[in-house]
Chain A
């Protein structure tokens, strides 16, 4: 039985680093692991220094990787529809519909739907092939949507299928065609079944886990509290929190001097890389930034 782990968390807390490190650990334990990035920024490639693409590739022993590109998946889907059209319809109509399909590609829901479709495909198709599938998701809000969609979509598809069944029955009464199977109804029922499969997998608490990454800082803590509250409304347990970037206990000057030296290098990198741009430099404060302390930073923005 595959365990499916979704890594969530605010942007910048180190989600990608942690999910990658976690996947390496599982792989070294001998568990066949698949690491999937759904984050448009695709930082896993950056972390591992390897080019991870749309096809599953082997990263290490027992560890495979994949990056989901929703735009690419949507194009694949729409092109399949175009191909399908040519066998059913005349050229004139195909041209008309082509422009409708082009418009649909840039519709607001397309990106999220294509992403969810691919995630579903991976979970259903690769369930038995891997011991563990880890999804590195984009910052928090996006993660939550994935878990509400199976229920929602199964319901919607069910309603549509029911409507279509009514129409098919009425058609039979009017034209008395009893033998032909309605392709529209077949497609709707297939989709409904697939969403039902995903819903079942998500509803089984033993299959799916969410791990939240946070730092020991105020804002990530607030964000995590909100996210857990929201997810609890959908019966999704977040049983493990990954607290990233904890400073060493016996912190000494050595540690900070090394950090500072590295920072100076990166500052120089920035000035080289972005020559000609204006730089506004803000210092790290030794207190949390909140309503009383944010004024301390404003004086650095003297442009």
Chain B
């Protein structure tokens, strides 16, 4: 019985994915990726924002490899309209 249920669920997912064509799934992944990247860059280079960490010296050598990603980060931080909307819009928080 469970096996049949699983096959039906898998079929459903297959069609969902096959018809999604860079739609919501891609957007969700991108947004998640940007959030992870923002946190990562913040920790690596917090020293330059005035917040030194024990690892600041050691993350300096990552700088040359992360230049593109830092530029994107910079743009995102500049265009930020609402942090709340970015991070919490997916959750229904109203009581």
The interface of chain A, by Cβ under 8 A from chain B, is 74, 77-78, 80-81, 84-85, 88-89, 93, 97, 100-101, 103-104, 107-110, 113-114, 117, 149, 152-153, 156-157, 160, 163-164, 166-167, 170-171, 173-174, 183-184, 187-188, 191
Contact = CB atoms under 8 A, between A and B. Distances in A.
Contact of B32 (A81, A170, A188): A170
Contacts of A160: 40, 43-44, 55, 59
A163 B61 CA distance: 17
Contacts of B52: 107-109
Contacts of A173: 29
Contacts of A107: 47, 52, 56-57
With most chain B CB atoms within 10 A of its CB, the pick from A88, A89, A167 is A167
Closest 10 CB pairs of A and B: A113-B57, A170-B33, A85-B64, A156-B55, A109-B52, A163-B40, A88-B64, A183-B65, A184-B65, A167-B36
B78 interface: no
15 contacts: A74-B57, A77-B61, A81-B60, A81-B63, A81-B64, A85-B63, A103-B48, A104-B47, A152-B54, A153-B55, A156-B55, A160-B55, A163-B43, A166-B36, A170-B29
A77 B56 CA distance: 13
With most chain A CB atoms within 10 A of its CB, the pick from B39, B53, B56 is B56
Contacts of A110: 56-57
B61 A164 contact: no
A174 B56 CA distance: 29
The SS class assigned to the A binding surface is: helix
Nearest to B44: A160
Contacts of A103: 48
Contacts, number: 97
A174 B30 contact: yes
Nearest to B32: A170
With most chain B CB atoms within 10 A of its CB, the pick from A103, A149, A163 is A163
A257 to B, nearest CB: 54
Nearest to A93: B67
B83 interface: no
Contacts of B64: 81, 84-85, 88-89, 97
A167 B66 CA distance: 13
B88 interface: no
